Amino acid sequence: MDFGPFLFNDETAGQTLLYYSSDRPGGAGKVDIYVSRLSSETGTLEPPVPIAELNTNKNDFQPTLRKDGLEIFFVSGGPTGYFLDLWTATRETTLDSWSTPVNLTLLNITAYEYHPTLS
């Protein structure tokens, strides 16, 4: 099952990317974050690629990117897997890999967090 889509138009690199969550086989955990590039030639999505630096052996899902694409927010069980918390990662440019995710401890409570959004 695929869910939690986020369409990102990367104006700097001139490409459109679809970030989403999936429980497809071959991921790091039960649910992982994937990205697919929209082909400018065919207008179809290319095969999905798991984002290894964001995915854990727990559930990782519902990605939301900042407008410039340099920061991502998502929900994850993280290394402990006790609760689903909000996490973030950054990168220098949209062509770089994501940094090691950081738990947003000031925003998280002792329950489950879901679907971060930005206005």
Q: What are the structural domains of the chain?
A: 2-103 (2.120.10.30)
Query: Which H or E run includes 4?
Result: strand 2-10
SS3 at position 27: coil
**Percent of all residues in the chain with a pLDDT value above 90, rounded to a whole number:** 66
Residue 114, pLDDT > 80, answer no
User: Which pLDDT band, with edges at 50, 70 and 90, does 71 fall under?
Assistant: very high
Tell which wins on pLDDT, 112 or 17. 17
Compute the 3-state secondary structure of the chain and give helix, strand, coil in percent, each to the nearest 5: 0, 40, 60
pLDDT of residue 81: 61
User: CB–CB of 59/76 below 8 Å?
Assistant: yes
Span 86-106, pLDDT tens digits: 899 999 999 999 999 998 877
Q: Which pTM was predicted?
A: 0.90
Span 20-52, pLDDT tens digits: 999 999 888 889 999 999 998 999 999 999 999
pLDDT of residue 105: 75
Q: Worst-scoring range by mean pLDDT, 14-18, 29-33, 68-72, 107-111?
A: 107-111
Q: How far apart are the first and last CA of the chain?
A: 27
pLDDT of residue 104: 85
